[in-house]
Structure 1
Amino acid sequence: MNYVTFGGVTVGLIVLCYQLTLWYPGRKQLMKDPVKHASKLLPFLLSWAYGCLTTLGIGGLIGTASSSVLGLSNWLGDVALIWGVGESAGQLAAAKTFVPLSTPGGAVVLIATAVFAAAMKKAGDEMRGELKRGAWCGITLGTSAGVAGFAAVPLATAANWIGERAYEAAR
C-alpha cells in the first residue's frame, strides 16, 4: 500500500488550490451560469478520481508510476515543510481504512488508464495540464486521512462493482 505524509498531502492541496484558482470565474459569473462553470471542473475531477484509484492497491507499471509520483510528492512536500516553514515532516497522514481494488476493479483501472492516455493525446496543452494536475492531486490525496481519502472508499467500491458486473456479463 502507498502511504502519504503530511508533505504529500500539502503538495496535493497546493495542486488542488492552484487548479481551483485557475478555474474560479468570479462570484458574479458563477451565479449567472453555475452549471456551465461547474462543468469546466469535470476533466480535473475525473482525472482526480483516476489518480486516486491508481493508489489503491494497484501493482505493475501503473502502480509503480503512481507510487513514484506519491513518493516524489511526499519528498517535495516534506522538504517544503522543513525548509519553507520550519515544520517537521515525514509523519504519516494516511487513512487507516480503505477499500482495496479487487481483480475486476483493477481491470477497470487498466481500462481507465487507456482512456486517460487517449484523453491526454487528444487534449490541447491547457487541458493536458489540467488532466495531469488532476491525476497528481488524486494520487497525493487518495489515501489521505481527510475527506479526500474517504472519497477513495466509494471510488474503489464503484470500480470493483463496475468490474464485477462487466466481467460477470462476459461469462
Structure 2
Amino acid sequence: MNYVTLGGVTVGLCILGWDATKWWPGRKQLMKDPAKHAAKLLPWLLSWAYGCLTTLGVAGLIGTASSAVLGLSNWLGDVALVWGVGEQSGQLAARTFIPLSTPGACVVLIGTVVFLASVKKAGDETRGVLKRGAWCGITLGTSAGVAGFAAVPLAQAANWLGDTGYGYVR
C-alpha cells in the first residue's frame, strides 16, 4: 500500500483548490443551470476516482506509476512545507484500507485504458483537467481525511463491478 505524507495531501488539496476555483461558475450561474455546471465537473470527478483506485494495492506498471506520482507529490509537498512555511511533514495514511480483489484490479486496468483514451481524445483544457483529477486522486486516495474515506466505497464498487462482470465467485 502507498502512504501519503502531510506534504502529499497538501499537494492534492492544492490541485483540488485550483480546479475547484477554475470550475466555479459563481452562485448565480450555478443556480441558473446546475446540471450544465455539474456536467463540467464530471470529467474531473471520474479521473479523481480513477486516480484514487490506482493507489489501492494495484501492482505492476499502473501501481508503479501511481507510486511514483505519490512519491513525487510527497516529496514536493514536504519540501514546500519545510522550506515554504517552516513546518514539519509527517505520514497521514488512512487507517481503513480495502484492497482490490483480482476482478477489482481488472476494473482498474479497464479504467486505465479508458482514462488514457480519454486523455488522448480530449482537447488541451480537458486533458489538463483529467490529468490533475487523477493526480489529486492519487494524493488524496489514502489520506486520513474525507477523501481517504471515499477510497473505501470506491474499492468496494470496483470489487463488486469486477465480481459481477466477471462472474467471479470466492
Question: TM range, normalised to the smaller chain?
Answer: over 0.9
Q: CA deviation at 1:97?
A: 1.1
Select between 9-18 and 92-101 the one with higher mean Cα deviation. 92-101
Q: TM-score, normalised by structure 1?
A: 0.97
Q: TM-score, normalised by structure 2?
A: 0.98
Give the structure 1 partner of residue 23 of structure 2.
Answer: 23
Question: 1:41 & 1:25 partners in 2: Cα distance?
Answer: 11
**Equivalent position SS for 2:87:** coil
Give the structure 2 partner of residue 106 of structure 1.
Answer: 105
RMSD: 0.7
Q: Which amino acid aligns with 2:50?
A: Y
Aligned length: 168
Q: Which amino acid aligns with 2:14?
A: I
Give the structure 2 partner of residue 43 of structure 1.
Answer: 43
Question: 2:19 & 2:79 partners in 1: Cα distance?
Answer: 22
Q: Which amino acid aligns with 1:94?
A: A
Give the structure 2 partner of residue 115 of structure 1.
Answer: 114
Q: Which amino acid aligns with 2:159?
A: N
Give the structure 2 partner of residue 7 of structure 1.
Answer: 7
Q: Deviations over 1:15-61 (max 9, x none)?
A: 00000000001111011111111111000000000000000000000
Question: 1:34 & 1:67 partners in 2: Cα distance?
Answer: 36
Question: 2:165 & 2:77 partners in 1: Cα distance?
Answer: 39
Give the structure 2 partner of residue 72 of structure 1.
Answer: 72
Give the structure 2 partner of residue 153 of structure 1.
Answer: 152
Q: Which amino acid aligns with 1:114?
A: V
Q: Which amino acid aligns with 2:153?
A: P
Deviation >6 Å, runs of 4+: none
Give the structure 1 partner of residue 166 of structure 2.
Answer: 167
Structure 2: tracts of 5 or more residues without a match:
none
**Equivalent position SS for 2:93:** coil
Structure 1: tracts of 5 or more residues without a match:
none
